[in-house]
Amino acid sequence: MHQLLIAGRYRLVDLVGTGGMGRVWRARDELLHRDVAVKEVVPPVWLGEAERDDLRRRTLREARTAARLSHPNVVRIYDVVHDRDSPWIVMEYVESRSLQQILAVDGPLSPARTARIGLAVLAALRAAHTAGVLHRDVKPHNVLVATDGRVVLTDFGLATFTGGDAAMTGPGMILGSPHFVAPERARDGISDPRTDLWSLGATLYAAVEGQPPYARDSAMATLSALATDPPDPMRRAGPLRPVLTGLLQRDPWRRLTAVEAEPLLRRAATATPEPTRRAAPDPTRPPAPGPTRRAAPDPAGPAAERAAPARSGPRARRGQRVAVGVAAAATALLAAVGTGLAMAARDRSEREPSGTGAGVGPTRPAAAFACVAAPPAAASPVPSVPPPPGARFRLVPGWTWYTDPTGFQIAAPIAWLHWTEDAVTCFREPGGTRVLSVEASVARADPVAWWRAEERRLTGDGALPGYRRVDISPMDIFDGGAVWECAWLNPAGERVHTARLLANTSADRAYTVSWLTKEFDWQVNATYFPMIRQSFTPAL
CB atoms within 10 A of CB 534: 19
What's the confidence (pLDDT) of residue 442? 92
Query: How far is it, in rounded angstroms, from Cα 257 to Cα 516?
Result: 24
What's the confidence (pLDDT) of residue 379? 93
Tell me: pLDDT of 308 over 70: no
Output 511 or 1, whichever has higher pLDDT: 511
Q: How many CA atoms lie less than 13 Å away from 71 in the CB half-sphere?
A: 23
What's the confidence (pLDDT) of residue 162? 41
What's the confidence (pLDDT) of residue 524? 66
List beta partners, residue 37: 26, 91
The arithmetic mean of pLDDT across residues 69-94, rounded, is 85
Treating both helix axes as pointing N-terminal to C-terminal, what angle do 111-130 and 258-269 enclose, rounded to 10 degrees? 150
Q: Which sequence positions are flagged as catalytic?
A: 137
Tell me: pLDDT of 51 over 80: no
β-bridge pairing 77-83 and 510-518: unpaired
3-state helix, strand, coil in the chain (%, to 5): 30, 25, 50
Specify the DSSP element, H or E, that contains 334. Answer: helix 331-334
Query: How far is it, in rounded angstroms, from Cα 306 to Cα 335?
Result: 13
Output 142 or 479, whichever has higher pLDDT: 142
Digit-coded pLDDT (tens) for 396-435:
788 999 999 988 999 999 999 999 988 899 999 998 888 9
Output 529 or 340, whichever has higher pLDDT: 529
Mean pLDDT, rounded, of the chain: 75
What's the confidence (pLDDT) of residue 239? 93
The superfamily in CATH containing domain 331-535 is: Mog1/PsbP, alpha/beta/alpha sandwich (3.40.1000.10)
Query: How far is it, in rounded angstroms, from Cα 404 to Cα 426?
Result: 11
Query: How far is it, in rounded angstroms, from Cα 100 to Cα 150?
Result: 16
Query: How far is it, in rounded angstroms, from Cα 270 to Cα 352?
Result: 33
Residue 472 identity (one-letter amino acid): I
List beta partners, residue 143: 153
Alpha helices (H) in 96-172, listed in sequence order: 99-106, 111-130
What's the confidence (pLDDT) of residue 294? 35
For 5-92, CATH gives 3.30.200.20
CB atoms within 10 A of CB 137: 24
Report for 313-322, 351-360, 469-478, 489-498: range of highest mean pLDDT: 489-498
List beta partners, residue 24: 17, 39
What's the confidence (pLDDT) of residue 432? 85
Query: How far is it, in rounded angstroms, from Cα 216 to Cα 98?
Result: 22
The arithmetic mean of pLDDT across residues 1-5, rounded, is 69
Tell me: pLDDT of 169 over 60: no
Residue pair 299/327 in contact by the 8 Å Cβ criterion = no
Sequence-distant (≥ 6) Cβ neighbours of residue 152 within 8 angstroms = 72, 73, 74, 75, 94, 96, 120, 124, 143, 144, 146
What's the confidence (pLDDT) of residue 19? 62
Digit-coded pLDDT (tens) for 90-117:
988 988 899 999 999 999 999 999 999 9
- Residue in 102, 111, 103, 104 with CA at minimum distance from that of residue 208: 111
Q: So where are the chain's domains?
A: 5-92, 96-272+287-300, 331-535
Alpha carbon of 305 to those of 48, 140, 271, 275: distances in Å? 45, 24, 15, 23
First to last CA, the chain: 67
- Residue in 160, 131, 138 with CA at minimum distance from that of residue 70: 131
Digit-coded pLDDT (tens) for 238-297:
999 999 999 999 888 789 988 889 999 999 999 876 554 444 444 333 444 433 333 333
Query: How far is it, in rounded angstroms, from Cα 444 to Cα 298?
Result: 20
Digit-coded pLDDT (tens) for 309-357:
333 333 333 333 333 333 333 333 333 333 333 333 333 333 333 333 3
What's the confidence (pLDDT) of residue 357? 33
The arithmetic mean of pLDDT across residues 87-92, rounded, is 87
Tell me: pLDDT of 237 over 90: yes
Q: Classify the C-alpha dihedral 517-499-351-347 as positive or negative.
A: negative
What's the confidence (pLDDT) of residue 20? 56
Instruction: Classify residue 493 as exposed, middle or buried by CB count within 10 Å of its CB (0-12, 13-18, 19+).
Output: exposed
Output 518 or 334, whichever has higher pLDDT: 518
β-bridge pairing 22-29 and 495-504: unpaired
The arithmetic mean of pLDDT across residues 478-491, rounded, is 85
Top-level class of domain 96-272+287-300: mainly alpha
What's the confidence (pLDDT) of residue 369? 63
Sequence-distant (≥ 6) Cβ neighbours of residue 363 within 8 angstroms = 343, 344, 345, 346, 347, 350
Cα 475–252–67 angle (5° rounding)? 110
Output 162 or 357, whichever has higher pLDDT: 162
This prediction has a pTM of 0.51
Digit-coded pLDDT (tens) for 358-405:
333 333 333 336 787 788 999 999 999 998 877 766 787 889 999 999
Query: How far is it, in rounded angstroms, from Cα 271 to Cα 496?
Result: 42
Q: Residue 226: helix, strand or coil by DSSP?
A: helix
